[in-house]
């Protein structure tokens, strides 16, 4: 996958996937590779975890995050609210989340467990409320606040009706491979920091990226640059 993707763009500079297909002289091949990468970035991990916002929004924001990441929690509990009010609710942008599990400990893999739980919630149409509930209860990296019991408690808090189904899903690790696929994809394109955000403009190969927790003004500048770009 690293062949398809060039250097990570940091700081909100609008650019294209300039290194995609660099070993090919075939324009059709380059275009196909670009579209493959864009699809992998923007498609929902499972049908119940579709993008937040209008599917026809011209801008797609993709976050790679970890549920035990402190900066991911700060983004979700603060900046994401501004993005929702100013862009997502207005049909300008939609928001996709991909798992990049950097804070797992080998003995328990609780970041992975939380991510699996989010997809169990998605089975009952509660992906985004559950996603937000995890971050609302954030209490640090590997401090024990994520557990089977707490994850079930979050499910009850967001109104998941069939707790038995949710618990069975969690116990079976039904969505482990979904989480691992997201994680391997992120690492395969060179990501090693959470959160990392990609911004894509519909019907173009324009992309921008932000690494780490940044204020809303940085997000606004990136989105405005993409919206005003002509290519």
pLDDT in tens, 88-109: 999 999 999 999 999 999 999 9
CATH fold for the domain made of 15-228? Glutaredoxin (3.40.30)
Higher model confidence: residue 225 or residue 151?
151
Condensed to tens digits (0 to 9), the pLDDT of residues 62-92 reads 999 999 999 999 999 999 999 999 999 999 9
- What is the pLDDT at residue 25? 60
Residue whose structure tokens are 């809303």: 216
pLDDT at 118 over 80: yes
- What is the pLDDT at residue 84? 97
Stated pTM of the model: 0.88
- What is the pLDDT at residue 121? 98
Contact 182, 99 (CB under 8 A): yes
Helix (H, G, I), strand (E, B) or coil at 206: strand
Task: Sheet with 206-211: list strands edge to edge.
Answer: 15-16, 206-211, 196-201, 59-65, 93-99
What percent of the chain is helix, strand and coil (3-state, nearest 5)? 45, 15, 40
- What is the pLDDT at residue 92? 98
> What secondary structure letter does DSSP report for 22?
T
Domain ranges in the chain are 15-228
Q: Peptide bond preceding 193: is omega within 30 degrees of 0, i.e. cis?
A: no
């Amino acid at each position: 996958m690293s062949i398809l993707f060039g250097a990570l763009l940091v700081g909100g500079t609008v650019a294209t996937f300039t290194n995609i297909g660099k070993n090919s002289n075939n324009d059709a091949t380059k275009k196909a590779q670009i579209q493959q990468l864009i699809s992998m970035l923007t498609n929902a991990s499972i049908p119940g975890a579709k993008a937040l916002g209008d599917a026809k929004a011209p801008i797609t924001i993709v976050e790679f995050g970890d549920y035990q990441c402190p900066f991911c929690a700060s983004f979700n509990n603060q900046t994401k609210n501004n993005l929702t009010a100013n862009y997502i609710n207005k049909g300008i942008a939609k928001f996709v989340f991909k798992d990049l599990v950097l804070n797992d400990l080998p003995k328990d893999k609780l970041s992975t467990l939380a991510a699996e739980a989010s997809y169990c919630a998605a089975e009952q149409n509660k992906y985004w409320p559950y996603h937000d509930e995890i971050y609302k209860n954030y209490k640090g990296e590997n401090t024990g606040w994520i557990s089977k019991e707490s994850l079930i408690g979050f499910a009850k808090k967001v109104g998941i009706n069939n707790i038995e189904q949710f618990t069975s899903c969690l116990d079976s690790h039904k969505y482990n491979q979904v989480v691992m696929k997201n994680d391997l994809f992120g690492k395969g394109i060179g990501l090693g920091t959470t959160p990392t955000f990609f911004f894509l403009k519909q019907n173009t190969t324009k992309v921008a990226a932000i690494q780490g927790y940044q204020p809303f003004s940085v997000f606004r500048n990136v989105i405005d640059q993409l919206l005003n770009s002509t290519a």
